[in-house]
């Protein structure tokens, strides 16, 4: 049988694990509505495959890209779609009405666009409040003004309030922001959409009426410095795999890769893996970043190249063709990211288009170029 015509570097996307992680989010959410966050191409996992896998079990989907939301609607998605950054220009609002998209309004100008739009379609509206992150959101003095502008408009349906936590994954927590939120709300009884993955897993008081899990759906911990994904019950969705395409024997003092940043201090075997930053592996990952070769844990050596990286084969029985796991099943992406000074979000989102994808669903694989 002829060999498939692609490099031996591919990503397995485990759709059963994705649904498992959503079920875990639901257990933490209780009866709250669950928005599955699928921005950035489903955190690099493929927007359409993620939405297809979750469309029967998610309450709705949240993203920021208007073209992607329209694509989902044109593909037949009927569930609610929440646009987390709202519209970027007033002339987008007719598209919101046409495709049934829900705007998040985070500044007064957006509220004014809706007020002046003349739309004859009633849109649910989310008002985002700035409770301390100081990124997006209406300040305390702007909320009453926004509500006054929206009151009585024929194009406005249900209104909900939203905020985003800056430190749900850190020691500071959410207490200060919750206090600000409650002060801003006063006696208002609009539904609340609050918890991201970190808050959902750490702070039950943040669950409120609606939650927005993101990274936890894809099997990574939102606070790996506190608890691992495995300890949280999450399963990895993406596994990046490759294989050895060469093996070399180094003498003491011989160097590896660009700049020779790693030099052997003893005779050693080095494996060359067909994966590099052109595939989405972090270029800045240093010597010592964990990797699995033949299911055994070892380390990277030297600088990551565009198409290749080097691994330590001491004490590992491996040769050309031996499988390698860069992250995922058996090796947490969180651990690889920490070694590279980044977060798993970036690893996932950086997966390159040239990487072949294999969908796995209950043990059955279906390949997609």
Same domain, 328 and 206: no
Structural domain span for residue 280: 238-368
Residue 356: closest CA among 11, 5, 40: 11
Strands 210-211 and 33-37: parallel
Domain stop point among 162, 190, 220: 220
Same domain, 171 and 115: yes
Same domain, 29 and 118: yes
Contact assessment for residue 39 and residue 4, using Cβ atoms and an 8 Å cutoff: no
pLDDT digits (tens, 9 = 90+) for 46-67: 999 999 999 989 999 999 999 9
Same domain, 39 and 181: yes
Same domain, 181 and 261: no
pLDDT of residue 362: 58
pLDDT digits (tens, 9 = 90+) for 28-45: 999 999 999 999 999 999
Domain stop point among 158, 185, 220: 220
Query: What are residue 292's phi and psi, to 5 degrees?
Result: -110, 130
User: Which residue's entry shows tokens 């920490």?
Assistant: 338
CA geometry: angle 92, 214, 45, nearest 5 deg: 85
pLDDT of residue 4: 60
Residue 39 known to be catalytic: yes
Q: How confident is the model at residue 361 (pLDDT cuts 50, 70, 90)?
A: confident
Task: Catalytic residue, from 128, 258, 308, 345: name it.
Answer: 258
Q: Is 365 helix (H, G, I), strand (E, B) or coil?
A: strand
Same domain, 155 and 77: yes
Strand partners, 359: 13, 366
| 250 within a domain of the structure (yes/no) | yes
- What is the pTM (predicted TM-score) of this model? 0.94
DSSP class per residue in 7-71: -S-EEEEEHHHHHHHHHHHHHHHTTSEEEEE-HHHHHTT-HHHHHHHHTTT-SEEEES-HHHHHH
Task: Catalytic residue, from 39, 281, 308, 345: name it.
Answer: 39
In angstroms, the CA 265 to CA 254 distance is: 8
Same domain, 32 and 160: yes
| 300 within a domain of the structure (yes/no) | yes
Same domain, 281 and 342: yes
Alpha helices per DSSP H over 167-228: 175-185, 197-202
Contact assessment for residue 210 and residue 192, using Cβ atoms and an 8 Å cutoff: yes
In angstroms, the CA 77 to CA 67 distance is: 14
What average pLDDT score do residues 324-337 get? 98
pLDDT of residue 2: 58
Of the chain, the percentage scoring pLDDT greater than 90 comes to: 95
| 106 within a domain of the structure (yes/no) | yes
CATH number reported for the structural domain that contains residue 282 in this entry: 2.40.37.10
Residue 74: partners with Cβ closer than 8 Å, 6 or more residues away: none
Half-sphere exposure of 300 (CA within 13 A, CB side): 29
pLDDT digits (tens, 9 = 90+) for 181-240: 999 999 899 999 999 999 999 999 999 999 999 999 999 999 999 999 999 999 999 999
Is the pLDDT reported for residue 365 higher than 70?
no
User: Domain total for the chain?
Assistant: 2
pLDDT digits (tens, 9 = 90+) for 88-138: 999 999 999 999 999 999 999 999 999 999 999 999 999 999 999 999 999
pLDDT digits (tens, 9 = 90+) for 230-278: 999 999 999 999 999 999 999 999 999 999 999 999 999 999 999 999 9
Same domain, 193 and 275: no
| 353 within a domain of the structure (yes/no) | yes
Same domain, 135 and 55: yes
Same domain, 308 and 183: no
Tell me how crowded residue 51 is: count the other CB atoms within 10 A of its CB. 22
| 5 within a domain of the structure (yes/no) | no
Q: Give per-residue burial for 336-361: e unless 16+ CB within 10 Å, then b.
A: bbbbbeebbbebbbebeeebbbebbb
In angstroms, the CA 255 to CA 278 distance is: 22
Q: How confident is the model at residue 363 (pLDDT cuts 50, 70, 90)?
A: very low
| 103 within a domain of the structure (yes/no) | yes
Handedness of CA 199, 205, 211, 216 (dihedral sign): positive
Contact assessment for residue 286 and residue 304, using Cβ atoms and an 8 Å cutoff: no
Same domain, 136 and 213: yes
pLDDT of residue 159: 98
* DSSP type of residue 345: H
CATH number reported for the structural domain that contains residue 27 in this entry: 3.20.20.10
* DSSP type of residue 245: E
């Amino acid at each position: 049988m002829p060999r498939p015509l692609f490099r031996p570097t591919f990503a397995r996307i485990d759709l059963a694990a994705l649904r498992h992680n959503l079920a875990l989010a639901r257990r933490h959410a209780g009866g709250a509505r669950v928005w599955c966050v699928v921005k950035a191409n489903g955190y690099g996992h493929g927007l359409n495959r993620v939405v297809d896998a979750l469309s029967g079990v998610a309450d709705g989907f949240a993203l920021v890209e208007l073209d992607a939301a329209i694509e989902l609607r044109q593909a037949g998605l009927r569930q609610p779609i929440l646009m987390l950054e709202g519209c970027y220009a007033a002339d987008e609002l007719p598209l919101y009405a046409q495709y049934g998209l829900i705007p998040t309004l985070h500044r007064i100008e957006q509220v004014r666009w809706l007020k002046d739009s003349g739309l004859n379609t009633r849109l649910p509206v989310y008002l985002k409040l700035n409770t301390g992150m100081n990124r997006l959101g209406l300040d305390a003095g702007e909320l009453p003004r926004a509500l006054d502008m929206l009151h009585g408009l024929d194009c406005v349906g249900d209104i909900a309030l939203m905020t985003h936590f800056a430190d749900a994954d850190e020691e500071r927590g959410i207490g200060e922001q919750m206090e600000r939120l409650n002060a801003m709300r006063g006696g208002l009884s609009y539904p609340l959409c609050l918890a991201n993955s970190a808050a959902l897993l750490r702070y039950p008081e943040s669950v409120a009426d609606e939650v927005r899990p993101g990274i936890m759906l894809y099997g990574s911990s939102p606070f790996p410095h506190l608890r691992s994904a495995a300890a949280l019950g999450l399963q990895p969705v993406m596994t990046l795999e490759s294989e050895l395409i060469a093996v070399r024997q180094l003498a003491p003092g011989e160097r590896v890769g660009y700049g020779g940043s790693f030099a052997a201090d003893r005779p050693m075997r080095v494996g060359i893996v067909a994966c590099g930053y052109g595939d989405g592996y972090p270029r800045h990952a240093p010597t010592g970043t964990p990797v699995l070769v033949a299911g055994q844990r070892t380390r990277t050596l030297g600088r990551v190249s565009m198409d290749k990286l080097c691994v330590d084969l001491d004490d590992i029985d491996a040769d050309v063709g031996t499988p390698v796991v860069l992250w995922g099943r058996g090796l947490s992406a969180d651990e690889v990211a920490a070694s590279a000074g980044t977060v798993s979000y970036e690893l996932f989102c950086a997966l390159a288009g040239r990487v072949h994808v294999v969908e796995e669903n209950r043990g059955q694989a279906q390949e997609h170029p």
